[in-house]
Structure 1
Amino acid sequence: MDTPPKNNANNTNDLTSFAGTYPTDDTSQSQPPESGVNQAAESNAPTADPSFQKSAAQQTVQEEPKPFLDTAAQTPAPTPASLQPADFGSPTAAEASDGSSPPPIEGGFPSMPPDQNAANEPAAAQTGSAPITDNSPFNFAAPEGETSVPPPITPESPPQTQTAGAPPPPTETPFTVAAATPPPASGSNTIKRVIMVVVIVLVLIGLGFGAFALVGRFLTGSQPVVLNYWGLWENEQGLASLIEEYKATHPNVDIVYTKQNPKQYRERLESAISRDEGPDIFRFHNTWVPMLKEELAPAGETGYSAQEFSSTFYPVASQDLLISGQVYGVPLMFDGLGLYYNEDLLRAAGVTAPTTWEDFRTAAYTLTVKDASGKIVTAGAALGTANNIEHFSDIVAVMLLQNGATPTNLVSSEAKQAISFYRQFAEAPYNTWDETLDNSISAFANGQVAFMFAPSWEVFTIQQLNPQLKFQIIPIPQLPGNPINWATYWVEGVSTSSEHKDEAWEFLKFLSSKESMVKLYSEQSKLRAFGEPYSRVDLAQTLINAPYVGAYIRQAQTARSFYLASRTFDNGINDQLIQYLQNAINSMGQSVSVDSAMNTAQQGFSQVLARYFQ
């Protein structure tokens, strides 16, 4: 029988005090990296076209977290004057040998921010004898150079006297054909007749055009405007009541909602729009703006102004969707990362939910249970690897931002510190996770890991896998100073190929109103545990203390985004950057140095970013 599991909680008294940052990589290995691409590329990503899209490297927060790097021990790469990096030192040989406590953390990461009318009545016919000079087919005037000749004049016959015995004149009956009356002898009368005919014809033409315009206006007014709406995650049932409410006040507008399959959705969307067969309204991810700059139509008079948009939604929405003073999308929801924890595991170990990275690292080590061979039986935290951790790229991205790194520059000291800190959770002997464990979502649902990071919608996955599991969600840990959180959310946009852009933006403004969002959340909550978290600032207080979803609302004001958002299925900027990052983390698990791994990943990042920011 195997030796009973060993609980590392018994060794927590020997933990070195957490000093504040990610450890630097002490390895001296110089072997070539095993990740990334083989082609050489520029080391720095080009800048976005400022007329449409901000550069990825410009996503910098204005807050300045309190640095906690020992600047006397290490000189970091140049950073803004207000952002001083830190380091997390590596475990000493003595500490690594006894395995009784995690290595001391001596470093830090400053902050960086990853917004027809009826036709006119014909003029009254004019009288007179002005000549008609136009070339209209209805002009009956004599051809130029010729003189109008009146018919010949027939002399009147003298009166006849009836003689005796002559028959009486015939009596007129309805069938009697009267003798033709000779035309007037005057030529001016003929001209007047021609003029009258022309005037009558012109009046008839005018009335015809007027009638045509009136009929056209009538037909147009009765024909509904059809707005085709492509959605992704919500069923038609959740939107049906709001669509009917809008149609009641806009009877001329019809909205046809279609839920799309997320696989290859972006490619199908772009292809359909390029053929003028796409939707009028469609859902897209907040990070897709660089890829959809030819397909997104800015808001017009019926949509949001820049000022109204900025005051309505969270700051990250303005950073992502407000470009050169124009709004390119409307978020109907917000999401990010939350720290999930198993209530029973923390209660049994006497551990409280952490709020800082120092407390988190200590708690994760305490909650990790290993058997005599060092195999993890219960994991403290799902961190450190890439293959079996859902949303690992989101986690690494927010660590980079919190540490003051620019995510487009992976070779900076701040970036290397953050990634090295992430990797420590999977490096023996102080690891709280490893590659042998199940997928992080499954492991958490089965009670095999105490902490994991995930968006709000993973709640539905957990509840489906294990309805009995007791868990809570809190905001993610922070470094000392101003907090920086993560944003990954979906947006509604209007197609450049739509023939009804104004009507589409008017509907989106209705859909994103305060009243509509409340109704939408209520309808969605009838189908699942909760609806999509509100994207409007004025609705924050209604959900800030709600179970599960409240943690995300509390982080929304300080959230940032970058092109490392997981599960967007874009086969584009996110998926491509994530692949290079995954290769880098995997190579570090095979003893490749952080320097070598980041150099290779940087080449891949530069290639991808150049493709979308030319």
Structure 2
Amino acid sequence: MLKKRSWLFSSKLISIFLLAVFLSTSGFSGCKLLSQAEQERIKPITLNYWRVADDTDAFSEIIADYQSQHPNITINYRKFRLEEYEKELLNALAEDRGPDIFSIPQSWLTAYQSKLEPMPAEIQMAYQYEKGTIQKQTVVELRTKKSPTLREIKEKYVDTVFNDVVIDGQVFGFPLSLETLIMIYNKDILNQSGISQIPTSWTDEFQGAVAKTTRYETETKVIQSGTALGTGYNVDRSFDILSILMIQNGATMLSGTKPTMFNRITKEGVRGSVNPGLEALQFYTDFARPSKDVFSWDALMPSSFEAFLNGKVGFFFGYNYHIPQIRSRSRVNFGLAPIPQIPNNPIRNYANYSVEVVSKKSAYMTEAWDFVLFMNQPDEIKKFLAKTRRPTAQRALISTQLEDEDLYPSVSQALTAVTWYKGYDIASAEKAFKDMIEQYLVLTDENKINDILNVANSKISQTLIKPQQ
């Protein structure tokens, strides 16, 4: 009897063992045996992502979509204040505690190039999904995808993106959006002054509108400014404004990557030999000269944006990021329009945008680049743009934003937008422009005009030279 029970017990053990083997090899266990490579690729990892502009909810849907394909990857998003961002970023990168992905202005790309990992030619990622009907089974599949080619990048993004993010044949990042310099105007001031049409040209139309909307207490004291232009340090984005005036007027800002050439005489155009950079500087500073009909601004006034918020400026030049601040901080009845152009000259506009980049020190560069590319897929980028109300950088989406009152001025200019600075110190370059403006305003010897341009040109040229490590 004991022998019979013992035999029955042994038979049950053998049956259980055989069943376990069957389940583990037939897929009924719900988990396929993974190779060592597959196990390595689905280990839990965290990608740290740093930015300035947007709150976490701008990325919540995109991150959820990404994690549905890669549940082992956590995206830790952190937003910084603008004034603290670069210092914290540089310190963190130097101490090897920096983010895997971060966002920088386009004008920082050259300076940060040594800290960035360029886009790889291809990316291999592990994708997890379930299959089976009777018993669900988690399957891991390694897929290798080709990264976008240079031709594909040219076709997908507006021209300035390709010109900015591709350095020496390598791609260093992609933008999620792109803003262009726009004209923001006070409707009430224009209506009270009888301005029925928004100026589209700088000469005559814009100058005439400024003269009609400016109010004076004395010949040298303005109490309502037609526009906030003419000075260096109290005009928001004066570097951008003067840059686009020079570019529209035909100035060559750079020859390749060096040296700067905005101080040169050129024979381009029908006017013969002219200095387009100097002409642009003269046009800009006229708005701060009491002797000119367009005098409307001076160095003693508050910042141009604060003056606009207070209802004291007719035309302000800024970007879409100013719009939420105007709505939250003032009661100004405002409108938006593309910036004026120079008649008979090629249409040119000025771009201002940030680029999502991958740190060279990231332990997960492949995954980081995969997420950057994932964010820029059409279905995903639409979610970001809808949440943030930002203008697109992608050609295919421009037509979808042209009917939006807030986005139209900026996005309608994207195809003709440019940037020019590709040096190592944008802050010093901007200071050189501001100093040039202020020095020109107080110049008494006309023979020294070119000296002022040459000094500014020299200072900016120095910032194009790579600093010694």
Q: TM-score range by the shorter chain?
A: 0.7 to 0.9
Would the aligned equivalents of 1:334 and 1:487 in 2 still touch at CA under 8 Å?
Answer: yes
Answering whether residue 375 of structure 2 is matched by residue 514 of structure 1, we say: no
Structure 2 residue aligned with 1:537: 395
Quick check: 1:242 aligned with 2:94? Answer: no
Partner of 1:396, secondary structure, is helix
Match of 1:383 in 2: 229
Q: Which has the higher strand share?
A: 2
The 3 A distance-change label for structure 1 pair 581 and 613 is: farther
2:418 to 541, 560, 573: 560
Deviations 1:321-374 (A, max 9, x none): 122332210100101210111111112222121001111111111211113544
Q: What do you get for the CA RMSD once the two structures are aligned?
A: 2.4
Give SS of 1:433's match. Answer: coil
2:18 corresponding residue in structure 1? none
Offset from partner CA, 1:459-508 (integer Å, 9 cap, x none)? 12211221x32111111111123200000100101112223222222211
Aligned to 2:143: none
Contact preservation (8 Å) 1:291, 1:612 = no
Give the equivalent residue in structure 1 for 2:455: 600
Q: How far off its partner does 1:587 sit?
A: 1.5
Equivalent residue number for residue 195 of structure 1: none
Contact persistence 1:564–1:578 (CA under 8 A): no
Runs of 5+ unmatched residues, structure 1: 1-212, 525-530, 566-571
Partner of 1:307: 151
Q: Secondary structure at the match of 1:609?
A: coil
SS of alignment partner, residue 492 of structure 1? strand
Deviation at 1:214, TM superposition (A): 7.7
- Return the offset for 1:410: 3.9
Aligned to 1:485: 349
Give the conservation status (yes or no) of the 8 Å contact 1:332–1:492.
Answer: yes
Structure 1 residues 218 and 411: CA distance shift in structure 2, 3 A? closer
The answer on whether the counterparts of 1:290 and 1:613 sit within 8 Å (CA) in structure 2 is no
TM-score between both structures, scaled by the size of structure 2: 0.78
Structure 1 segment 312-461 matched on structure 2, within 5 A:
312-351=156-195, 352-358=197-203, 359-407=205-253, 408-412=260-264, 413-429=275-291, 430=293, 431-461=295-325
Aligned to 1:255: 75
2:438 paired residue number: 586
Which structure 2 segments of 5+ residues have no match? 1-32, 124-146, 254-259, 265-274
1:463 aligns with 2:318: no
Q: Distance in 2 between matches of 1:229 and 1:383?
A: 37
Q: Does 1:232 align with 2:52?
A: yes
More helix by percentage: 2
Contact 2:248 2:345 in 1 (8 A): no
Count of residue pairs brought into register by the alignment = 389
Q: How far did 1:589 drift?
A: 2.1
Q: State the 1:564 CA deviation.
A: 9.4
Inter-CA distance 251–362: structure 2 relative to 1 (3 Å threshold): same
CA offsets, 1:236-289, max 9 Å, x none? 122122111210111122211111333353354344334433221111111112
Q: Which is higher, the Rg of structure 1 or of structure 2?
A: 1
Partner Cα separation in structure 2 for residue 534 and residue 493 of structure 1? 18
**Distance of aligned partners of 1:519 and 1:439 in 2 relative to their CA distance in 1, 3 Å threshold:** same
SS, match of residue 405 in structure 1: coil
Q: One-letter code of the match for 2:299? A: E
Identity within the alignment, %: 29
**Aligned amino acid, residue 433 of structure 2:** L
Is 2:404 the counterpart of 1:546?
A: yes
Using the alignment, how far apart are the partners of 1:217 and 1:374 within structure 2? 75
User: What SS is found at the alignment partner of 1:610?
Assistant: coil
Aligned with 2:338 (options 467, 475, 478): 475
